[in-house]
Structure 1
Amino acid sequence: MNSTDIRLDITKIPKSRIDAVDFENLQFGKQHADHMMYCDFIDGEWQTPKIVPYGPMQFEPSAKVFHYGQAVFEGMKAFKDEEDKVWLFRPEQNFQRINKSSKRMAIPEFPESHFFASLEALLKLDKDWVRKGGGNSLYIRPFVIATESGVSASESDRYRFMIITCPAQAYYSKPIKVIFAQDYSRAADGGVGFAKAAGNYGAQFYPTKLAKEKGLDQIIWTDASSHEYLEEAGTMNIFFRVGDKLFTAPTNDRILDGVTRKSIIQLAKDKNVEVVVDKVSVKQIVEAAKSGELKEIFGTGTAAAIVRVEGFEHDDVYYDLPDIEEPYGTFFKKNLQDIQYNRVEDTHGWTRQVI
C-alpha cells in the first residue's frame, strides 16, 4: 500500500508556539514543534495514525515500558534548502532500523506506509520549524513503547508508536575529549547493542558521568570480553585516521549500524580515501598517537553529524591529537551537509523531498 493511501486523523494546534522559540539559542531536544504523531497497536493490529498538538499523554503506572524497558527509538533530521524545500536524508534506513530494533525487543514492526504517510504529514504541518542555514535542522524522534497494563514479566500486547520533532542546531558546539573504556561495557555478544533500545543509553549514563567528572566528554566503548578493541562512542560511531587511511570498526550485534557512518564510508570511497573496516585495537591507536601517525579521530551520528575528538585518555595517560590542516572530518562533514541541504547533486539517491 502506498503511503498516500493511508488515512490519518489530524487535529491541528489552534495557535502555533513558534514565535516563543529563540532559534538562535536552542538547547538540543528541549523545544518541540507544534504537532506529534501517535499510533496504537491493539488486538494485533496497528490502528489509524493520529497527528495532534504536542503535549502530555497518560499511561497506566503498570504500563510495561516502565517495568521491562520495551522501548526503541530512532534519530533523523529534516533539512531546508535555500528554496524552502524540505528534505529527509536516507529515511528508509531509519525506518528499517527501527523495525530491526523492534524485532529484537519483541515489539511488532511498524508498517512502512503508516510511517512515511504520518512523517510527511507531520513535516508539512510543521514546515516553518525547519529553518534554513548550515547547521539548522528539525530533529525527528520516532519511538515505540509498550503500553499494556500489567507487571507480569512478558512482552506487551499493546504498543504506541510516536514521532516528535525538535528544532536543532549542532549537538556538539566544540571538539570533544574522550576516554577509552576499560571498566564498563556498552554491549555484549548476543545482546541488543545493534538496536536503538532505550536501555542501551540509560546504562551508559553512569560511566559517562564518571568520565565527565574527569573533564572528559564521552567514552569510546571497547569490546566487553577483553577491552582490547575500540567500537563506538556513547552517541556516535567512531573513525580513526592513521596516516592517510581511515579505520572504523565493523558493525556486529554490539555496534549500531549508523546511517551517517555508512554515508561517510561511501563518501570516502568516492574521494579515493582508503577505509579499513576491521577491528581497531586500543594498542594500535595508542601506538599511532605516540608515533605521530594518528592524525585525527572523529565521531559520526545523526545528532552529532561529524564531531572532532581533540584528545583521548587511556591508562590514566591523556593524548592530545594534532590540529592538522584539511582534516578528513571537516572535509566529509561539508560533503555530507552539501547533500543534506541540497547544495549539490545527490548522486547516490539518498535524499527524499517532502515539500
Structure 2
Amino acid sequence: MRPGAVSAGRPLPKTPPPFGEVFTDHMVSAFWSADEGWHGAVLEPYGPLTVSPSTVALHYGQSVFEGFKAYRRDPDRAALFRPWEHARRMADSARRMAMPPLPPEFFVAAARALVRQDMDWVPDGDDEALYLRPVAFATDSHLALRPGLSYRFVLMAFPTANFFGAARRAVTVAVCEDFVRAVPGGTGAAKCGGNYAGAYLAQEEATRRGADQVVWLDAAERRWVEELGGMNLFFVHGTGDRAELVTPPLTGTILPGVTRDTLIRLARDRGLTVREAPVSVEEWRQNCASGRITEVFACGTAARVTPVGRVLAGDGGWTVGDGSPGPVAGTLADALSAVHRGTAPDPHHWCHLVTR
C-alpha cells in the first residue's frame, strides 16, 4: 500500500453524524487494467473523483460495493469485524457483474491501512462504530454495451451510530405487494447498486404508510418472505431454551448476509435450533396470531440486530408478540456486541485487530 499525501485532519464530531454524511480524512484508491490487474493502491486524502460523463458505470451500473465495520477496543486499537468474509462477498458480487474480483488479501490490507491512518475517527460508544464502504466500478469512457476494460476501487469510512436511532427499538415493516427486489437468475445475491436504487420507490411508499422498512416477497408467487431492505430476517418460534429460529434460505435472490451467518453461529453456540426454511406472509400472520411466532428480528451490518414489532400488509397488519423487543433478539444482540468490543471470547476468530 503506497502512502500518498496525508491530510492534516479536521475537528472530529463529538457524536456520529447521520449515516454516511461525514467521512474520515482519508481513502484508499486502486485501479485495474488488463495489462496490470489491480495496481496503484494508494492511501490518500478523501476527496472528489474525476470521471467522464460517458463513464460506463454511470450509464449501465457496472459497480459493486460492500459495508463492514471497525469497533473501538482502546485508544490505540480497533477491531475489524469479519473483513475476509466481506472481501469474499465483494469478489462474488464482482464476478456476477462481469468485473475483475478484488483479491481478498488486498481488500483486507486496504481496510487495515485506512483504519490505522484514521484511528481517531473510530467512535467508542456502545452503539457506535467506524463504517467502511468499499466500492468498485467500471471507468471506461464509452457507451458500448460490454463490460468495462478498466476499473477503480475506492475505500472510504465514516463514523456511525445505530442505524434506526434509539437502540433496540422495535421497528414497523410494510409488505411490498407492487414491486419485487430480485428474481431467480438475477442479481439478488450480489451487492450491486441497482438492487438498492430499485428499492427506493417501495421504501418511499413504506415510509408514507408509517413503516421503517420494506418486506420483500418472492417474484414468482408474491407469497414467500425474502428479506427487508438491506437486512435478513429471523422468525423465533417458542421461548426460552426451546426457542427455534427460522430464516429464509439463500436461494440466489437473497443477499447472503455476513451478520445473518454470524447470528446463526452465535445462536447455535448457545444451544438454539436454527432452520433455513421458506416462510410465507400468511404463515407469518397466522403464527403471530396463535402465539407460535414470539419474535421477529432483522439483521445487517448497518442495523446489527433490529426487532420487528409491527407488520403492515394490504389494508391491515398485525403485531409481533407484544410489539416490543424480545429476549432472543436481545440475547443475540448482546452476544454480538460483546464479540465486537472484545468483552467475550472470539472462538470463530471474527475480529482482526488494527493497532495505531
Q: TM-score, normalised by structure 1?
A: 0.94
Distance 1:71 1:197 in 2: 6
SS at match of 1:251: coil
Counterpart amino acid of residue 332 in structure 2 = F
Counterpart amino acid of residue 236 in structure 1 = M
The percent of aligned pairs where both chains have the same amino acid is 33
1:245 positional shift: 1.7
Distance 1:146 1:166 in 2: 24
**Partner residue in 2 for 1:8:** 2
1:247 positional shift: 1.1
Distance 1:249 1:117 in 2: 33
User: Which segments of structure 1 move beyond 3 Å, counting only runs of 4 or more?
Assistant: 323-326
Counterpart among 27, 50, 66 of residue 42 in structure 2 = 50
Distance 2:279 2:109 in 1: 41
Is residue 207 of structure 2 the alignment partner of residue 215 of structure 1?
Answer: no
| Mapped contact 2:16–2:159 kept (Cα < 8 A) | no
Counterpart among 82, 100, 106 of residue 114 in structure 1 = 106
Is residue 279 of structure 2 the alignment partner of residue 287 of structure 1?
Answer: no
| Mapped contact 1:241–1:296 kept (Cα < 8 A) | yes
Write the mapping of 1:312-351 to structure 2, written as runs, cut at 5 A: 312-321=311-320, 322-323=322-323, 327-351=327-351
Distance 1:112 1:186 in 2: 28
Change (3 A) 1:285 1:16: same
Which consecutive unaligned segments of at least 5 residues does structure 1 have? 1-6
SS at match of 2:30: strand
**Partner residue in 2 for 1:41:** 32
Change (3 A) 1:42 1:294: same
CA deviations 1:131-172 (Å, max 9, x no partner) are 223111100001101110001111110110110000111111
Distance 1:63 1:325 in 2: 46
CA deviations 1:12-50 (Å, max 9, x no partner) are 11x201x1x433252011010000011011244212201
Counterpart amino acid of residue 276 in structure 1 = R
**More deviation, 178-187/198-207:** 178-187
1:83 positional shift: 5.8
Counterpart amino acid of residue 193 in structure 2 = A
| Mapped contact 1:84–1:132 kept (Cα < 8 A) | no
Is residue 41 of structure 2 the alignment partner of residue 77 of structure 1?
Answer: no
Counterpart amino acid of residue 34 in structure 1 = D
1:122 positional shift: 1.1
**Partner residue in 1 for 2:267:** 268
> How much is the aligned-residue C-alpha RMSD, in angstroms?
1.4
Distance 1:98 1:204 in 2: 20
Change (3 A) 1:124 1:82: closer
| Mapped contact 2:130–2:159 kept (Cα < 8 A) | yes
| Mapped contact 1:79–1:136 kept (Cα < 8 A) | yes
Distance 1:237 1:131 in 2: 26
Change (3 A) 1:165 1:147: same
Q: How many matched pairs?
A: 346
Counterpart amino acid of residue 259 in structure 1 = V
Q: TM-score, normalised by structure 2?
A: 0.94
**Partner residue in 1 for 2:179:** 184
Is residue 167 of structure 2 the alignment partner of residue 175 of structure 1?
Answer: no
1:112 positional shift: 2.7
Change (3 A) 1:287 1:252: same
1:325 positional shift: 7.8
**Partner residue in 2 for 1:3:** none
Is residue 23 of structure 2 the alignment partner of residue 28 of structure 1?
Answer: no
CA deviations 1:286-307 (Å, max 9, x no partner) are 1012212221111100000011
Distance 2:307 2:17 in 1: 21
CA deviations 1:205-232 (Å, max 9, x no partner) are 0011111111111111111000111111
